[in-house]
Amino acid sequence: MENNYRNTIYCLKLDNIDKKKKVLNAEIVKKHPKVRIIYNKIKENDGEYKSKFMNIYNYKCSYCGTSVKNIGLNLLEVDHYICESIFKSKEIAGKIENLVLACYDCNRSKRNFVIENKYRDVLNPDLENINDVFFRDDLFYICISDKYKNDAFIKAFYKKLKLDYQTRRLDFLLMNLRGLCDKMQGKPQAEKLYTIIEKLQQKRNITSCKKIVGQAICD
C-alpha cells in the first residue's frame, strides 16, 4: 500500500506534481505573456486553469486528502504554501511552485501560519517528506509519526490545520466507501453502501455548513 495518509487504497497516486505544475505554468505564460501573478489565473472557480490545477492533485486537498466528491468544487481552493505576507511581492508569492490545492477547512485554518525555513521541505505537500510526518491510524485519524511527535512546530502545524478533527476521519471513510462501491458496481451490496454514503455525506455537509457559518461570523 502507498505510504500516503491522504490516499485510500482506491485513490490515484499523486505523482510528478512539480513537472505537471511547470507544464501548466508554461501554458498560462504562453497564452498570457503579460501575466505577473500566476495565482490570479489559477484561483478563480470558473476560470480555465482552476480545473487543470485541481487535476494535478487528483481533485483532493494536498493537506488532509479530502476529495472533491466530499466537499464540492467550490470548496477546493488554491493556497499559498508559504504565506503571502513574508514575500516582497504578490508576484513572487503567487508563483506556481508556491501554490497547492487545499480544502476550505485547511486553507482558512492555515491562513497566515508561517512555515519556518527548516520545515519547508518537511511539510511541503508536494513532496514525499510529509508522509513521514503524518499517518493514518486504524481508526482513520491523522496522527503525527513517532519521529515528530515531540516536535513543537509540527504539533503547532497539525493543530492549526485541525488535522485531528473528526471531519478528517469522516472524509477518509467516505472516500473508502466510494472506492469500494465503484469496485462493487452492479452488485447488490453496492446499493446498500450508497445508502450509507448518502447518510454520512448529509452529516458531513451539516457539520461543514456549521463550521463555515461560524468562521464567517468570526471573520
Grouping H, G, I as helix, E, B as strand and the rest as coil, residue 75 is helix
DSSP letter, residue 113: P
Q: Provide the whole-model pTM.
A: 0.90
Q: Decide: 101 and 49 in contact? Cβ < 8 Å.
A: no
pLDDT band at 210 (very low <50, low <70, confident <90, very high): low
Report the pLDDT value the prediction gives residue 216, as an integer from 0 to 100. Answer: 46
Report the pLDDT value the prediction gives residue 191, as an integer from 0 to 100. Answer: 83
Please return the burial class of 79, using the count of CB atoms within 10 Å of its CB with bins 0-12, 13-18 and 19+: buried
Neighbours of 33 (CB within 10 A): 7
| Per-residue pLDDT tens digits for 106-162 | 999 999 999 999 999 999 999 999 999 999 999 999 999 999 999 999 999 999 999
